């Protein structure tokens, strides 16, 4: 029962819902979490699978949301994740011609347990996966993630490919003086393994407040480094945030997500549901809409839909990183859901 698309005050239509299924993680990436002292949400505050499915269903059926990404924290540490995937994989969105089509369902993971979980996720209806990997060097991986699991992640990427997940995208956050010397090696890795590398500009969402604009490696620098070794041609940009480039020799493509140097706020179509049921219209939003309270107090689907629409209607124009008016959100990336 499509009522209307989710439009904000700037005319942006929202079709992409990012759902964090947990704030917990089995890594402690330096740019995301402190080494210790994280306070996890009590389990009673985390949405159940039934609650998540209900919000997702309202967004898909009422507003034509057609893309759902499961994230965290680390989504694979949530018990029985395939059961949630199975519920969400049944959602159908109106195709505009009187019929319906499946939604695009994907998972963002650090990949460390994919060898074990990928087959069950595929059986449950998952089609594609994004794996986060910021370095190919073991010592550096240990330093960055505070875990010695590079081999597991590399094996997890192979497992995802073997299980038939396609495409497998590998996301790397590039940080000056940390891993910026590995951009070409990682591009080569993507070409060899048949996975699409996406380089992400580091954003001010770390728990330790280490971010500064001097530590951001911008898109131009990343693309120039890769193109000097593997010539590239730009691909015309669609609605997705990544700027994409094709390898001139035909061996796939590479992308950059330039959230800091070329923010894509004007075409942003994303909303986010945190693990504790707070809806955010922007990654950097300082206000949240409490859907859990509605879900647990007997609200109808109409009331839920109205709350979602109100949240999106109040979305601001852009995140303002780098400007004096920028305010860091209270929560870090792992607590919001990246």
Which residues contact ligand SAM (rule: CB under 6 A)?
Answer: 25, 31-32, 71-72, 74, 108-110, 132, 171, 173, 200, 202-203, 205-206, 333-334, 338
Q: Across-strand partners of 69?
A: 18, 106
Closer residue to ligand SAM, CB minimum distance, 63 or 199: 199
The smaller minimum CB distance to ligand SAM, of residues 277 and 338, is found at 338
CB of 213 to ligand SAM, least distance (A): 13
Q: CA 47 from chain center: how many Å? A: 18
User: Which single residue is written with the structure tokens 């997940």?
Assistant: 165
Shortest distance (Å) from residue 111 CB to ligand SAM: 8
CB of 257 to ligand SAM, least distance (A): 8
Asked if residues 156 and 131 have their Cβ atoms less than 8 Å apart, the reply is: yes
Question: For residues 157-176, b (16+ Cβ closer than 10 Å) or e, as one string?
Answer: bbbbbebebebbbbbbbbbb
Judged by beta carbon, residue 64 or residue 241, the one nearer ligand SAM is 241
Q: Which is nearer to ligand SAM, 289 or 335 (CB)?
A: 335
Q: Which is nearer to ligand SAM, 222 or 309 (CB)?
A: 222
Q: How far is the CB of 6 from ligand SAM (least distance, A)?
A: 23
Q: Residue 301 CB, nearest distance to ligand SAM (Å)?
A: 29
Which of 64/75 has CB closer to ligand SAM? 75
In the complex with ligand SAM, which residue's Cβ is closer, 70 or 312?
Answer: 70
- Report the nearest approach of ligand SAM to the CB of residue 74 (Å): 4
CB of 163 to ligand SAM, least distance (A): 17
Spatial CA neighbour of 3 closest among 280, 302, 310, 289: 302
Which residue is nearest to ligand SAM, using beta carbons? 338
| Rounded CA Rg of the chain | 19
Look up tokens 């990949």; give the residue: 111
DSSP code of residue 201: E
Q: Give the residue among 46, 124, 129, 64 at the shortest CA–CA distance from 88.
A: 124
- For residues 107 and 130, the answer to whether their CB atoms sit within 8 Å is yes
Using alpha carbons, select from 83, 86, 78, 84 the residue that is nearest to residue 46: 78
- For tokens 């504790």, what's the residue? 276
Residue 278 CA to residue 291 CA, distance in Å, equals 6
Beta strands 67-71 and 92-94, pairing class? unpaired
CB of 259 to ligand SAM, least distance (A): 7
Which SS3 state, helix, strand or coil, does residue 91 take? coil
Kindly tell me which of 72 and 258 has the beta carbon lying closer to ligand SAM. Answer: 72
| 20: nearest Cα among 57, 58, 72 | 72
């Amino acid at each position: 029962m499509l009522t209307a698309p989710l439009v904000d005050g700037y005319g942006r239509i929202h079709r992409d819902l990012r759902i964090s299924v947990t704030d917990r993680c089995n890594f402690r990436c330096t740019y995301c979490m402190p080494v210790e002292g994280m306070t996890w949400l009590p389990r009673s505050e985390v949405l159940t699978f039934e609650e998540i499915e209900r919000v997702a269903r309202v967004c898909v059926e009422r507003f034509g949301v057609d893309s759902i990404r499961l994230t965290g924290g680390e989504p694979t540490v949530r018990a029985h994740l395939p059961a949630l995937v199975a519920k969400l994989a049944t959602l159908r969105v109106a195709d505009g011609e009187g019929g319906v089509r499946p939604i695009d369902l994907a998972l963002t993971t650090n990949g460390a347990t994919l060898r074990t979980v990928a087959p069950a996720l595929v059986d449950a209806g998952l089609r594609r996966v994004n794996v986060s990997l910021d370095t190919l060097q073991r010592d550096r991986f240990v330093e960055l993630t505070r875990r010695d699991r590079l081999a597991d992640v590399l094996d997890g990427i192979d497992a995802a490919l073997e299980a038939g997940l396609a495409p497998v995208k590998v996301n790397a956050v590039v940080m000056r003086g940390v891993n910026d010397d590995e951009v070409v090696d990682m591009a080569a890795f993507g070409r060899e393994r048949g996975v699409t590398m996406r380089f992400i500009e580091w954003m001010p969402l770390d728990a330790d407040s280490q971010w500064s604009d001097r530590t951001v490696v911008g898109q131009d620098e990343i693309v120039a480094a890769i193109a000097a070794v593997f010539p590239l041609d730009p691909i015309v940009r669609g609605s997705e945030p990544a700027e994409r480039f094709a390898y001139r020799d035909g061996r796939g493509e590479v992308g950059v997500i330039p959230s800091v140097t070329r923010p894509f706020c004007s075409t942003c179509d994303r909303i986010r549901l945190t693990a504790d049921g707070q809806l955010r219209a922007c990654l950097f939003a300082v206000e949240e809409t409490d859907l859990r309270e509605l879900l647990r107090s007997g609200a109808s689907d109409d009331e839920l839909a109205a709350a979602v629409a109100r949240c999106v209607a109040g979305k601001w124009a852009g995140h303002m990183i780098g400007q004096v008016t920028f305010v860091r959100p209270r929560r870090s990336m792992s607590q919001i859901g990246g």
